[in-house]
Structure formats: C-alpha cells, structure tokens
Amino acid sequence: MTERTLVLIKPDGVERGLIGAIVARIEAKGYGIERLELVQATGDQLAAHYAEHEGKPFYPPLVEFMAAGPLVALVATGHGVIQGFRSLAGQTDPTTAAPGTIRGDLGRDWGLNVQKNLVHGSDSEESAAREIAIWFPEA
Ligand code: DAT
Ligand code: MG
C-alpha cells in the first residue's frame, strides 16, 4: 500500500506566496500529490491536530497563528514519504534548520512566542492516518 503523509502549508506560507515553491519541492523530490485544498482551519481541527501539544507554553499562540488565515492541506504519497517530507521540511526552529530545507531556506525567526515555520509534516504512520482524517474526513 502506498505510504501517505499529511502536509500543511501554514498560514505564513500562504500569506508569503510560497504555496508553489513548497509544492514544487515535494514534486521535485518525486512524491505524488493525492489531495490538496486551501482551507480556513476550524478550532476543532486545530485542537485535534495539535492535541499532543496542549498545555505547552506555545500552544495558545500556535493555535491562534494556525487560524489567522487560510492554509493548504495536502496528502503527499510515495515510499518513505513520511520521513522524506520531514527531511525536506528541516528542523522545527527555522534559524537552525539546515540550508536546503524548506524551513532553512524560506523561514526565519520573527521574534514571536510561536515559531512560524511554514510547514507541518506527519511524524509517523499513526500520526499520518490520524491527521489525514482530520483534514480530509471524506477520504
Ligand atoms: P514540528 O512541526 O517540527 O513537528 P512540533 O510538533 O514539536 O514541531 O511543534 C509543533 C509546532 O509548534 C512547530 O512547528 C512550531 C511550534 N513550536 C514547537 N516548539 C516550539 C517552541 N519551543 N517555541 C515556539 N514554537 C514552537
Ligand atoms: Mg510535530
């Protein structure tokens, strides 16, 4: 069965006009795009998506940031795509994310209490299945 991962292009990526640049990196790597939608996240979706971070200091600003404008949800496919997209995205902190990665090349620290780091990618098969169901409930 084809491996799938849930990618979000966060509101900072949409606002900065980086949808195309980010999707191009996924396609250039050779992964498929199975679903893709521009959506305004609901509070329920974000609470489910970031449940593991509830109670952390960055959780309230994270949820506020993710609801501040439209985001792109997409399902990328291919052997090893879960780990492969995390590798394309780079480390969480865009200041130290390696050059060559999405966060390293296109992101920076804006001095806020949440890191605006352009993309989300599922971190395991379990997370991918859970997250795809949040953003593409009909799939
Ligand atoms: P990742 O998105 O790399 O999987 P994560 O799941 O640990 O990172 O955190 C979710 C998001 O929350 C992350 O993309 C940016 C924000 N975040 C995480 N840790 C943070 C911190 N220490 N300070 C500010 N924002 C943080
Ligand atoms: Mg994470």
Q: pLDDT per residue over 27-57, tens digit each? A: 999 999 999 999 999 999 999 999 999 999 9
Phi, psi for residue 77 in degrees, rounded to 5? -130, 155
| Distance separating alpha carbons of residues 74 and 91, to the nearest angstrom | 20
53 among known catalytic residues = no
The confidence score (pLDDT) of residue 126 equals 98
List of domains in the chain: 3-122 (3.30.70.141)
Q: What is the pTM of this model?
A: 0.98
How far is C-alpha 85 from the geometric centre of its chain's CA atoms? 10
- Cβ–Cβ < 8 Å for 103, 42: no
The confidence score (pLDDT) of residue 77 equals 98
Res. 139: pLDDT tops 80: no
Mean pLDDT, the chain, rounded, equals: 98
Whole-number Cα distances in Å, 120 to 1, 10, 68:
23, 7, 16
122 within ligand 1 shell (Cβ under 6 A)? no
Best substitution site from 49, 56, 58, 63 to test ligand 1's pocket, by max atoms within 8 Å of Cβ? 58
Nearest-atom index, ligand 1, CA of 117:
14
